[in-house]
Structure 1
Amino acid sequence: MQTYFLTSDFPNGFPEAFITALKQTIVRQEHFVFAASSFDKAEVNEKYARKIMDMFAAAGFHFQTLTILDDRLPLAQIDQVLEQAGVIWLAGGDTLAQHASFERIGLREKLKKTTAVLIGMSAGAINMGDQIVLARHELDN
C-alpha cells in the first residue's frame, strides 16, 4: 500500500501535525529523492532540496543520502534510485515544466510501483495525478 501526502508550501517549517503524520508513516530513512519541478535548473534544485532536507532534519529525520531527480541523473539510474527511496518528494514550482519532465521519463508510471512515501508539494501534488487539469485565470486590469 502506498502513502501519499499532498501539501502546499511550508514557509515556517513543518507544522507539528505534519511531523507527527510523517513519524507515523516514514519507516526508511536511508534514501530521499527530491524530484525537481524544473529539471534543467540544477542550482535552484539544489537550493530547494537542501531547504526541504533542513526541514526534515529539524523534525528529527536524518536521511543517509539525497538524490535530486533532474536532468543530471542519468535515465538508466532512475529506476534504481526510486526503488531504494524511503521518501520521494515531488517539488513545487513550475507545474507545466515538471509535467513535461515527468512525461519524458515516465515518472508517474514508475511511482505506481514504489513502496516509498510520496509527498507532493503544490505543483508536485498536482502532477501526482493520472489526469491533470491546470486552470489559469488571467485578470483584465
Structure 2
Amino acid sequence: MSAEFESQADSPTLDVNLDNVCRLIQLARIFHAQEAVVIPEEPGNPSDDWPTQILAAHHDDQSLNEFRSIIDDLDRNQQVEVVALLWMGRGDYDRQDWHALLSDADAEWTDYTADYLMAHPMLSDQLTEGLDILGYHCD
C-alpha cells in the first residue's frame, strides 16, 4: 500500500509518516476481520471446534503486536495525530477544526493509545476517512 498527498488549500501537514498510517489501516482491517474467541458451553470434540478458532484473535496476534509496535514507536504528537484522524473520520470534527482537534486529542493522550485505537471496530474506515478529509490517500 503506498501513500500519496493531494494538495488542498490550507491542508494541515501531518508529522506522522503517511506510510505508517496506511500500515496501521491495513493492520486494523486484518485484526478486526477476525472473529472473537468462542468457547462452547458444552464440551465437545476439540477437533470439531477448530473452524471457529482459526480466525480467533489471541493475545499473541501478530497484526495486533505489529500495530502496537508502530504506535509505540511514534512520539506523543504523532500518536495524537492518529487519534485526531480517527475522530475526524468518524465525524466528531470538521477539517477547519484540525488545530482544536489536535489540542483535544493531546489532552486525552495516554500510554494506551494503541489499545484505545484498536477498541474501535471501524478504525480502518475512520482513519481512511480522516486522511481523505485532509487530502491524503492510501493506495
Which interval holds the TM-score relative to the shorter structure?
A: under 0.3
- TM value normalised by structure 2: 0.23
Structure with higher RCO (Cα < 8 A, 6+ apart): 2
Based on CA coordinates, which of the two structures has the bigger radius of gyration? 2
- TM value normalised by structure 1: 0.23
